[in-house]
Amino acid sequence: MAKEPVRVLVTGAAGQIGYALVPMIARGVMLGADQPVILHMLDIPPAAEALNGVKMELVDAAFPLLKGVVATTDVVEACTGVNVAVMVGGFPRKEGMERKDVMSKNVSIYKSQASALEQHAAPNCKVLVVANPANTNALILKEFAPSIPAKNITCLTRLDHNRALGQISEKLNVQVSDVKNVIIWGNHSSTQYPDVNHATVTTPSGEKPVRELVKDDAWLNGEFITTVQQRGAAIIKARKLSSALSAASAACDHIRDWVLGTPEGTWVSMGVYSDGSYNAPAGVIYSFPVTCKNGEWTIVQGLAIDEFSRKKLDSTGAELTEEKELAYSCLS
């Protein structure tokens, strides 16, 4: 029997990530090849015509799984009945800007959209915040939507996770699908800590630690980390626009693994409401290694954290605490 359609909200749908993301969702990349979807697309009035153009293209693409499209500038209409909300709407960082620079523009959007989601989304709606500063926007959304369970509000660090997998795969000249269990700790910003201490590669003679295969701690503790931390800025410099296809693909990976589960023995990175695990600050949205099952994420516990890593976990945590204060000062 055919499944009931799932309603997926994409805010900022007329923007560049939106344009890459909606066809992926309509093709089943996010929720599975047998899962019909109804797309809810929100943007602001100046983008209404472009949004309508995206709707026209979705119709023209004749996606078999796409059972309906709502394209609107009305936040209540957009949020009504949605089961998954991917929050991309906001202002992107331009060359030379830090994420903090987009803070004041974006956190107020997340405060106002929090109440619309709280009042009109389906119960148990899963929320993924992509727009920057992603962790702090997600925190503001959580704080101003108190009836949505905190565990349902997450932010995207899967792009950073995938970037780390990509760098290791290039360094070792192995398939990216054979590399797993990197971790992105903390903020989706240049203080994030891409950690390979528990990462492995599947080889013909079994699973091997990344450190053992790379045999270059200086690279792993230096250039590898900064390349992943600065990749967003490198893409902006090269494209004069921020990453879009990789961000859209990572958003699909994030929701797919959350809803359908992570493979046995594999974890992924998600920005989730911190309970203070690994002595990260509690009460911020911090990226941890998680496994997912039955639609719920769980932080992987008990991983050894060496002194080098400890400092990095602490400094990205400190930045998140600072961003939280800054966000509140922007809202007051």
Q: Of the candidates 229, 243, 274, 287, which one interacts with ligand NAD according to CB under 6 A? A: 243
Name residue, tokens 């209404």.
48
CA separation for the pair 137, 158 (Å, rounded): 16
Instruction: For ligand LMR, give the closer residue by CB, 208 or 239.
Output: 239
Considering the complex, what minimum distance in angstroms separates the CB of residue 181 from ligand LMR?
21
Binding residue (CB under 6 A) for ligand NAD from 82, 141, 247, 290: 247
Pattern 126-165, binding to ligand NAD, x per CB under 6 A?
----xxx-x---------------------x--x------
Q: How far is the CB of 49 from ligand NAD (least distance, A)?
A: 11
Is 16 a residue that touches ligand LMR (CB under 6 A)? no
Residue from 40, 161, 188, 254 carrying the catalytic annotation: 188
Helix (H, G, I), strand (E, B) or coil at 45: helix
Residue nearest to ligand LMR (CB): 232
Is 188 a catalytic site residue? yes
Among the candidate windows 33-41, 235-243, 249-257, 263-271, which touches ligand LMR by CB under 6 A? 235-243
Q: Single out the residue of 78, 146, 92, 81 nearest to residue 114, CA to CA.
A: 146
Residue least distant from ligand NAD (Cβ): 15
Question: Please, which residues have CB within 8 angstroms of residue 70's CB and are 6 or more apart in sequence?
Answer: 38, 39, 40, 41, 77, 78
Spatial distance between the Cα atoms of 187 and 284, rounded to a whole number of angstroms: 10
Return the residues of window 61-100 that contact ligand LMR according to CB under 6 A.
93
> In 3D, which of 50, 55, 54, 110 has the Cα closest to residue 85?
110
Shorter beta-carbon distance to ligand NAD: residue 42 or 140: 42
244 is in an annotated binding site: no
Closest contact distance (angstroms) between CB of 243 and ligand NAD is 5
3-state secondary structure of 184: strand
Rule CB under 6 A: is residue 232 a binding residue for ligand LMR?
Answer: yes
- What is the spatial distance between Cα 129 and Cα 137, in angstroms, rounded to a whole number? 7
Measured at the CA of 254, the angle between CA 249 and CA 259, to 5 degrees, comes to 125
Residue 235 lies near ligand LMR (rule: CB under 6 A): yes
Out of 16, 106, 242, 309, the only residue in the binding site for ligand LMR (CB under 6 A) is 242
The reply to whether 244 sits near ligand NAD by the rule CB under 6 A is yes
Torsions phi, psi for 318 (to 5 deg): -65, -40
Alpha carbon of residue 107 to chain centroid: 16
Please tell me whether residue 242 binds ligand NAD under the rule CB under 6 A. yes
Residue 211 annotated as lining a ligand binding site = no
List of E strands, the chain: 6-11, 37-42, 66-72, 84-87, 126-129, 153-155, 179-180, 183-185, 193-195, 200-203, 206-209, 268-273, 285-293, 296-299
User: CA-CA distance, 77 to 79, in Å (whole number)?
Assistant: 6
Question: Of 195, 188, 194, 185, which is closest to residue 281 (Cα–Cα)?
Answer: 185
Can you name the residues that pair with 11 across neighbouring β-strands? 42, 87
* x-marked contacts with ligand NAD along 71-100 as a string, rule CB under 6 A: -----------------xxx-xx-------
d(CA 26, CA 66): 5
* Stretch of 35-43, 118-126, 227-235, 310-318 contacting ligand LMR, by CB under 6 A: 227-235
Position 243 contacts ligand LMR (CB under 6 A): yes
Which residues are designated catalytic?
Answer: 188
Residues that bind ligand NAD (CB under 6 A): 11-12, 14-18, 42-44, 47, 88-90, 92-93, 109, 130-132, 134, 156, 159, 188, 242-244, 247
Residues that bind ligand LMR (CB under 6 A): 93, 132, 159, 232-233, 235, 242-243
